[in-house]
Chains A and B, each alone.
Chain A
Amino acid sequence: MNDITRRILEQMAAGRIPDDIPGTADYADTLRRLAQYFASIQRFTIALSNGDLSQSLQGVTGPVAGGLKSLQSALRHLTWQTRQIAAGDFSQSVDFMGDFSSAFNAMVADLGAAYGQLQHTNEELGREIAARKQMEDALRASQNQLALAMDLSRLAKWESDLAADMFILNDHFYALYGTSADREGGYLMPFEVYVREFVHPDDVQVVTEVMKNALAASTELRTSVQFEHRIVRRDGEIRDIAVRFMAMRDDGGNLLRIYGANQDITEQKRIEKALSQQAHTDQMTGVNNRGYFLELLDVEIERASRYGRPLCVLMLDLDHFKSVNDTHGHAAGDEAIRTVPRVIQATGLRQSDFFGRIGGEEFAVALPETDLRDAVDAAERVRSQLAETPVKHGSGNFSITVSIGVCKFKYGDSQETLLQRADQAMYKAKQLGRNRICSAY
């Protein structure tokens, strides 16, 4: 063996691949094939160690190459298995790779368990989110319904920020008051500003008292208050407002929060007044009807009885009313009836006096704080004025007269006894010739 060959063999024995094998070396072709073999193995091994599984040792045979290719095959399989695991297949397992198999399979089992737990948690979370969303949807629907109801009922809610001593208002509230947040400088308003700017001057005291009482200490955890007052909107219109609020306290009686809602009840009041008037009013004449007159009379009888004040009653009845109807017709008769209260009012009733139509052609007048003499004078004024007032009917006129009974309240009188005596006096006036006054004592 020549020196060149020896050097090349020693290099290869030391694990180095010679750069060049000259033709002068013994067995040069064989040495070159050997060098190429080592080079292929080296490239493949380095690629493997860098994680490059794509290199091929195709055509390179023998146990050494075979062992490395077996290792590459195992790594490629592991790579494929890892992808399956990443896709959610935790049934993958590694066999016949000693400690690596144990560790890898344990890791996959743990991953599978964790994944299962995560899925379970996700499902629970999904159910919780769905339930919460349902609740939120229901709450939103409920809030929308409430807002709609409040809108339809013209309810303007508010609440108090006790720490800042402010009321927290909103657009609904401001709309009710004919204003806006922009105009009022935001949604917070001190109570005194509200009272000064919006409460009707005649109702300031009521409002202030109510709030003062509500804020006063109490052992009740919740205090509910409702009252009414008038407001003056920014456009100057006066409206009636119903206020309802609840003051919430803690166990120590400290006020926590006040929640309230105001409602415009102007229209409601108007209707109530109209209905009340309708209930109290005689349809034909527009004056108090019998029922309301008697109610008012009861109040005066009570006052006269309690305080010993004078009270007189006049009972008026149209004379020859049937003849008026027969002669001039029922429409004329109605006009005659309507004339009586006009004349009574024209004779200068005082504010405390009141009267009503208590029968077909019968009227009664109550004169509180009036003695008998003044009552008789008042009756005479009515009688004479009525006698001089023609009743217009169609193209003509006719005259009417009344007979009047005057009665003074006596201690112990009831409504019935008082009116009975007045009635009797009126009948006596009729008997004495009508168109006159008779008194009862």
Chain B
Amino acid sequence: MADDTTRKYRFFWDLLGNIELGRPNLGQYARVEMYRLLQYTFRDILEQRFGADETDRIFYESGYLAGKEFHRNLIGPVADVNDFLKKLQSLMKELGVGVLRVEEADPERGDFIITIAEDLDCSGLPELGTQLCTYDEGFVAALLECFSGKPFVVKETDCWCTGDRVCRFSATMKKNNTAI
């Protein structure tokens, strides 16, 4: 891999830019369809080039990177798991990412089941017969790892694209503590 500091597209938070400066008239918000147009055209080309599995891995790792930066810049230190989940829920609602709900949360055992309704990626998509939110899987895995200090594996079990109406994610702490 190329030297990380010289890569052309190395991510850093400031790369998100000064929206106020850049869009004094149109402001912070854009239509969800435009976001999805960007994402799903990416998927299409990536799949053509590298196959579906590799594309899913790329999106998982991208979501993981995003989750780490999101935690570092927007969540920060929290008192406990309850505080963490409330902060996350509030941010996701405020940023329009989705409506986060918790079905189970056991930080001791390292088991979580969370749902995201009105998910930014997939809510309202046609039924495709498969889960699509691999980016979200990586995103959630990174958030849980940043909170607990332990790596997690996250799998989407229900998705709008499988006909469900919420995206359900099952997160389990990795037992051998190896990072992804």
Contacts and interface: CB of A to CB of B under 8 A. Distances in A.
Contacts of A91: 86
Tell me whether chain A's interface is mostly helix, strand or loop, or mixed.
Answer: helix
Tell me whether chain B's interface is mostly helix, strand or loop, or mixed.
Answer: strand
Interface stretch (A55-63, A282-290, A348-356): A55-63
Given A61-B129, A73-B115, A96-B99, A66 B105 contact: no
B47 interface: no
B166 A80 contact: no
Contacts of B150: none
Interface residues of B, number: 24
A99 interface: no
Contacts of B86: 91-92
Contact of A70 (B117, B127, B157): B117
Interface string A182-216: 00000000000000000000000000000000000
Given A76-B104, A80-B104, A66 B99 contact: no
B168 A84 contact: no
B163 A76 contact: no
Interface string A418-436: 0000000000000000000
Nearest to B100: A77
B105 A70 contact: no
A377 interface: no
A74 interface: yes
A194 B83 CA distance: 77
Contacts of B168: 69, 73
Contacts of B127: 61-63
A329 interface: no
B101 A73 contact: yes
Interface in A29-87: 58, 61-63, 65-67, 69-70, 73-74, 76-77, 80-81, 84
Interface in B83-117: 86, 93, 99, 101-105, 113, 115, 117
Given A76-B103, A80-B103, A66 B93 contact: no
Contacts of A326: none
A136 interface: no
A95 interface: yes
A66 B102 contact: no
Nearest to B165: A70
A73 to B, nearest CB: 4
Contacts of A81: 102
A77 B101 contact: yes
B162 interface: yes
A91 B117 CA distance: 21
Contacts of A61: 127, 129, 162-164
Contacts of A63: 127, 163, 165
B165 A77 contact: no
B158 A69 contact: yes
B8 to A, nearest CB: 40
A58 B157 contact: yes
B158 A66 contact: yes
B160 interface: yes
Interface in A98-128: none
B129 A69 contact: no
Given A62-B127, A63-B127, A76-B104, A95 B165 contact: no
B140 to A, nearest CB: 15
A89 interface: yes
Contacts of B163: 61-63, 65-66
A84 B99 CA distance: 18
B5 interface: no
B178 interface: no
Given A77-B115, A80-B104, A80-B105, A95 B99 contact: yes
Given A62-B163, A67-B165, 17 more contacts: A58-B157, A61-B127, A61-B164, A63-B165, A65-B164, A66-B160, A66-B166, A69-B164, A69-B166, A70-B117, A70-B165, A76-B101, A77-B101, A80-B103, A84-B82, A95-B99, A96-B117
Interface of A: 58, 61-63, 65-67, 69-70, 73-74, 76-77, 80-81, 84, 89, 91-92, 95-96
29 contacts: A58-B157, A62-B127, A62-B163, A63-B163, A65-B163, A66-B158, A66-B164, A69-B158, A70-B115, A70-B164, A70-B165, A70-B166, A73-B115, A73-B117, A73-B166, A73-B168, A74-B117, A76-B101, A76-B113, A77-B103, A80-B102, A80-B104, A89-B82, A91-B86, A95-B93, A95-B99, A96-B99, A96-B117, A96-B118
